[in-house]
A and B are shown apart, each in its own frame.
Chain A
Amino acid sequence: MARKITYQQAINEALDQEMGRDKTVIVMGEDNAGGAGSPGEDDAWGGVLGVTKGLYHKHPGRVLDTPISESGFIGAAVGAACNGMRPVAELMFVDFMGVCFDQIFNQAAKFKYMFGGKAETPVVIRTMYGAGFRAAAQHSQCLYNIFTHIPGLKVVVPSNPYDAKGLLIQSIRDNDPVIFMEHKVLYTMEGEVPEELYTVPFGEAAVVREGGDVTIVAIGRMVGFAQEAAASLQKQGIHCEIIDPRTTSPLDEDTILESVENTGRLVVVDESNPRCSMASDIAGIVAQKAFGALKAPIEQVTAPHVPVPFSDALEDLYIPNAAAIEAAVKRVKEYR
């Protein structure tokens, strides 16, 4: 193997290969080609950050530019999914869920149940999330917890290029609506990615690092910070086990609980705001189901309960980091 590509390239490759494999896979979104109806290039952007670049010419007629009309085209993706297609719609920034949420949570998520199991809605909504771009409050949030709350949605949060490709292919092949969360800071992350098609199953957490002292559950970009913290703690004689859930719905509770049964200590790292978050959810599950194993209170390392600030000075304070994780691990380790 040993071929290294970026997280962004891994996503592009998954789309490209799946479009090649299955003619019902279509891609749509704002500027997914870019340049529709314009006098210049017809594949000008390939998405605002270029993630879908090149697909337009490789798959004629199947990469659709849309008006800036999220309810309209996200809903159209849902409708097309009900009529035999496998659309991958791009909601440019997850923050824009506010203008199309009805089509996601009242329509797509509920069809199968409301219609007595008679509807399949194989739609994927790819969306960018996360702080770190100095993009401020309306372009930086981590809202996977909101989608996770809704029965009927599957929610995928890849932390590295390998998982990004395998989970996206799984998302496209899945017959249910999938929210595929792409951290914008991770787009440039490089990693080993097989050239061939492969899937990473939903609901199977990755044990990123093994260790017996403290369990760290980290999501998305936070996995890297947890690894950084764990490397530093290792030198201090504290051995962390890092678990990356990879999908928040379904959530692999078993892997988390097994680890905590072993370590007795848990730190959950989540870039979201703290209330009603994945951090609080996972902490709640562990408190309920592994209470007897706990040797210390559960620590949650999250963003503070404020909107994402603009100034780099403030945004850097906002985002959880390795130092905060390290401090939390030490607190649970030293708890008596």
Chain B
Amino acid sequence: MSETLNREGLLEAYRTMRTIREFEERVHNDFATGEIPGFVHLYAGEEASATGVCMHLRGEDYIASTHRGHGHCIAKGVDPVGMMAEIWGRATGTCKGKGGSMHIADLGVGMLGANGIVGGGGPLICGTALASKLRGDKTVGVCFFGDGASNQGTIFEAMNLATVWNLPAIFVAENNGYAEATSSTFSVACDNIADRASAFGMPGVIVDGFDFFAVHEAAGEAIRRAREGGGPTLIEMKLSRYYGHFEGDQQTYRADGEVQKLRETKDCLMQFRKRVTANGEITNEQLDAIDAEIRSLIDGSVAKAKADPKPGAADLMTDVYVSY
């Protein structure tokens, strides 16, 4: 709840969510011009989840992410300027232009990578959490995954292993309602992904993923328990994405006006602003100032990405262990 966050904490939360939103809206617009190569999957709409979880994490804690990973990256502290350059395929990108949107990683800040394989992160986060446990340093690992990945065997295996080894791991299922174009009401056999937690001997929690404060509270409890050796938790965030599975997706599988209604009634930034300004804790002017600052940051990141060089031929063969 907000009482656990002081004013600086609230401003930080807003800043992170706004950075993700601005980043994603900007990628959305620039992708439409045809200048950004490849596939991008946008996180807009889901900001409260990454932000509310990652605010409890330290640099040494790890997260594993998904193909929809920009928000997790930003929330875990990856530099948005480097990320933008990466998405534009520049040598100055977070991964020197070799990873792209689906593989942004920065192990230096505990970000084990967006992941092009649905469900790929579950086993990996068991590994970082195993290392945490063996060292006894009270660090944790958080695996973000979607409703699509919730049906992958790797996620089942990872949740089972996490309980068997009593790992400091947190499984965050971001149920945005669609695995690509298929509804989770069709593809997930039980009512809630969180219902599966009992099958793996861990607590399962359902959270309104549009509500930053609900996310922050649930994640805080799970992460605290994991740090203290209490084992894993599965948290299901009920939320939605504002854009398609990938940019260019016409989303004909969605209801008319579905996203517009969510934006108007549920939007995490809107709810957050309403709540923190209602009691005068924070003023609208302060939040507006953050908005302007972030817009300038993202504008700058795009301008820099456009101007930065692409990798050269010599970069093709580096960073691989065996060359022929």
Interface residues of A (CB under 8 A from B): 26, 61-62, 64, 66-67, 69, 71-85, 87, 102-103, 106-107, 110-119, 151-154, 176, 203, 249-251
Contact = CB atoms under 8 A, between A and B. Distances in A.
A118 B127 contact: no
12 contacts: A71-B154, A73-B126, A79-B131, A83-B132, A85-B130, A110-B103, A115-B106, A116-B94, A118-B95, A118-B107, A118-B108, A119-B113
Contacts of A61: 134
Given A82-B112, A154-B322, 15 more contacts: A72-B126, A75-B124, A79-B64, A79-B123, A79-B125, A79-B128, A83-B62, A84-B135, A107-B120, A112-B321, A115-B99, A115-B103, A115-B107, A115-B113, A251-B324
A114 B99 contact: yes
B157 interface: yes
Given A26-B134, A114-B113, A117-B319, A76 B105 contact: no
Contact of B120 (A85, A102, A153, A203): A102
Contacts of B129: 79
Given A66-B161, A80-B131, A116 B93 contact: yes
B99 to A, nearest CB: 4
B129 to A, nearest CB: 8
Contacts, number: 156
B116 interface: yes
A87 B132 CA distance: 13
A80 B130 contact: yes
B320 A113 contact: yes
A255 to B, nearest CB: 15
A210 B97 CA distance: 48
B165 interface: yes
A-B CB proximity, top 5 nearest: A75-B123, A79-B127, A72-B157, A116-B96, A116-B95
A74 B123 contact: yes
A249 B321 CA distance: 9
A152 B117 CA distance: 17
Contacts of A72: 122-123, 126, 154, 157-158, 160-161
A77 B141 CA distance: 14
A62 B74 CA distance: 35
Contacts of B158: 72, 75-76
Contacts of A106: 116-117, 120
B134 A85 contact: yes
Contacts of A116: 93-99, 319
Given A103-B120, A117-B319, A249-B322, A76 B161 contact: yes
B278 interface: no
A83 B128 contact: yes
Nearest to A177: B321
B124 A152 contact: no
B70 to A, nearest CB: 16
B122 A83 contact: no
Given A61-B134, A76-B123, A118 B105 contact: yes
Contacts of A115: 95, 98-99, 103, 105-107, 113
B318 interface: yes
B164 interface: yes
Nearest to B106: A118
Contacts of A83: 62, 127-128, 131-132
B128 A80 contact: yes
A196 B94 CA distance: 43
A206 B154 CA distance: 40
A220 B318 CA distance: 30
Nearest to B128: A83
A113 B153 CA distance: 26
Contacts of B126: 72-73, 75-76, 79
B46 to A, nearest CB: 23
Interface in B151-172: 153-154, 157-158, 160-161, 164-165
B164 A82 contact: no
B274 to A, nearest CB: 39
Nearest to A253: B324
Contacts of B94: 116
Nearest to A176: B321
Contacts of A77: 127
Nearest to A118: B107
A75 B127 contact: yes
Given A75-B122, A103-B120, A250 B322 contact: yes
B148 to A, nearest CB: 15
Nearest to B135: A84
A80 B105 CA distance: 16
B134 A152 contact: no
A86 B112 CA distance: 17
A108 to B, nearest CB: 9
A118 B99 CA distance: 11
A109 to B, nearest CB: 9
A103 B123 contact: yes
Contacts of A154: 321-322
Given A69-B161, A71-B154, A80-B131, A151 B320 contact: yes
A43 B124 CA distance: 27
A214 B124 CA distance: 47
A114 B103 contact: yes
A73 B124 contact: no
* Among A26, A61, A69, A83, residue most surrounded by chain B Cβ atoms (within 10 Å): A83
Nearest to B131: A83
B127 A76 contact: yes
Nearest to A249: B322
Given A62-B134, A71-B123, A71-B157, A114 B141 contact: no
